[in-house]
Structures are given as C-alpha cells and as structure tokens.
Amino acid sequence: MANTLQYLLSRNLSGVYRDPQRLIRDVETLQKTSLGRNLNPTTEPFTSNDGSVTPSVLVLNGTLPMVYRNVTYNIPIDLYLPPQYPQRAPIVYVRPVSSMAIKENHRHVGRDGMVYMPYLHEWGAQTHDLRELCVWMSSLFGSEPPCYARPAGAPRVNAASSVAASYGSRPPAYAQATQSTTNTYSPYVAASSNNNNRSREAEEQERRKQQQIEKEVAE
C-alpha cells in the first residue's frame, strides 16, 4: 500500500501537493487502522464549483465501516485530497452502489453524496487529520446511516460526477433544519460480508414494523 502511494505521488502527482510528506504520513496512518484499511489510493481530476479542472489529485477510494444496531456495514466513499492539503480540508463523497440509495434529507450527506460535517467545516491543518475524520464519519453514519437498500424497480438518483472544490455552494447540512418526510426506502444499509448471521426473518419483521410506522406517520 505504501509503495502504491509513493508511486502515485512521485510519478502521477509530482509537484501537485504543497506538503507531500504530511499527506503520506496522514494516509499511511489512516490505512493502518480498521477504518482505513479498505481505502485505496488512486488519482482522478479535480473539478471545482465553476467547472474548471485541475490536474489529478489523490483519492482514497473504498469503503468505510460503521456500526448500526450492533451490526457492521461498509459505506462506499471517495475521499479527495486537494492540492492545498492539509491547509484545505478533504472532500468526501458517499458513492452508493446500484443496489443502494442515499437517504433523503440526511443531516450530513447531500443528495449528490457530498459529506457535510462539523469536523470538515472546522478543519485546521494542525488540529485535524484523516484518521480522526474517518472516526467522526463512522460515528455519525452509525447514528444515522446515509444509505438504504433500494427497493426493486426504484429509480436511481445520479450522484454528481464532479467534485466541489469548496463548501461555498451551500451551507453545511448540519446547519440546516432537518425536514420530516416519509421515506419510501427500506431501512437497511447495504451490509458487508460480515453480516451474514442476520436472518432474513428478522429483517422482514423489522421491515414490516418500519412500514407500519411510516403508514401511521402518513395518516
């Protein structure tokens, strides 16, 4: 993993980062933890809010584990590191697979999958890092899962294909009032391979219970 990171920085991203040693240290520290071991470095172009594209940047692509109701799930994410890192905060997107959908009106995830949270909003080069960022995300996602299993035949909302360069396009989601709506999605995030011990009967019981609650709320 370290060899891949060094190769990308020396061959593909030479001269892109102001502090490559800090970037290497933070990424390697994250990848040594259980939260970061499934996040793999790659490169992608960086697109700003005005549509301009900069040279490729480092992206950590993979899954972030979270615990919801004592069960571990893996949430697909892309974690972009801008050229100004660590002076500038990372930019994170939840990237649901075809069988998943992003929860509507989520407190920390926009409809396009972009993650908004206090840790990113208050980012400081000397006080924040990737490991703590993932600790925060895993905890917040465990409290309020950002993805749900998509019912068969439900339309998919396309996530934004570009990466926003700043948070100026709209206020962070955690600063907005949470709207109360009836969610038609199944209340289950896509499970990781470690969750096979959960029986279909238990899931069906919880699904019926959730549907009943939603029906009562709608009435």
pTM to 2 decimals?
0.70
pLDDT digits (tens, 9 = 90+) for 62-94: 999 999 999 999 999 999 999 999 999 999 999
Tens-digit pLDDT profile for residues 31-61: 999 999 999 999 998 676 567 777 799 999 9
Q: Which residue has the tokens 């060094």?
A: 6
List pLDDT tens digits, range 110-164: 988 999 999 999 999 999 999 999 999 999 999 999 998 887 666 665 444 444 4
Interatomic CA distance for residues 56 and 47, integer angstroms: 9
Give the chain's end-to-end CA distance (angstroms, integer). 53
Which uninterrupted H or E stretch holds 140?
helix 130-143
Please answer whether residues 163 and 79 qualify as being in contact, where contact means their C-beta atoms are separated by less than 8 angstroms. no
